[in-house]
Amino acid sequence: MMYHIIKCEFIVLKQIGMWKLKHIVEVMISEQEVKQRIAELGQQITEHYRNSDCELVLVGLLRGSFIFMADLCREVQVPHEVDFMTASSYGNEMSSTRDVKILKDLDEDIRGKDVLIVEDIIDSGNTLNKIREILGLREPNSLAICTLLNKPSRREVDVPVEWIGYSIEDKFVVGYGIDYAQHYRHLPYIGHVTLLED
């Protein structure tokens, strides 16, 4: 897959604990490309659920998905609800059986509904797989996943993903809701972070 790389005009200095990491952010997927791809995903999702007799609910996984979720739900042209969930994984980081703690649960019951999990980026798939299992126990009519970014080379567990915006290499990315030390979520494009030597 080809990437449109543009060197940014700024270099930032970020304080993390006692470390100062100088880095640059380069555009990997432009704002226009992101918008166009989300419109395409919205059309595909609309067609998939158009004839369903069940209510559709989009479940955004916070925090990273909040911008993607907002734009995607405007492109889905069938009636739907939105809800949000926050989870964190803990345990042995080298294990694919890490536990997941729900920090914010859904506000509504999903029993009998078509549920679409909206994720910003899938790496190992461990946390997402656990969330899928948890929601599956709540007896939805169907359960599917849509992610903006996918890193297949990082996958540790096989998670079925119905809609993928972009499959990317194993790079450190930011923007469009994805952060670096809680910064850069506001960027309208997907950027690649490169650390610079002093």
Secondary structure (DSSP) of 32-77: HHHHHHHHHHHHHHHHHHTT-SSPEEEEEEETTTHHHHHHHHHH--
In this structure, the chain runs to a length of: 198
Place of tokens 């449109």: 4
Q: How far is CA 13 from CA 7, 152, 194, in A?
A: 16, 31, 12
Is residue 158 annotated as part of the catalytic site, yes or no? no
User: Nearest 5 degrees, angle CA 187-CA 11-CA 29?
Assistant: 35
Tokens describing residue 162 = 């119905």
Give the number of other CB atoms < 10 A from CB of residue 151: 19
Name beta bridge partners: 99: 90
Catalytic residue chosen out of the listed positions 123, 170, 179, 198: 123
Residue 2 gets which letter from DSSP?
-
Q: Which residues are catalytic?
A: 123
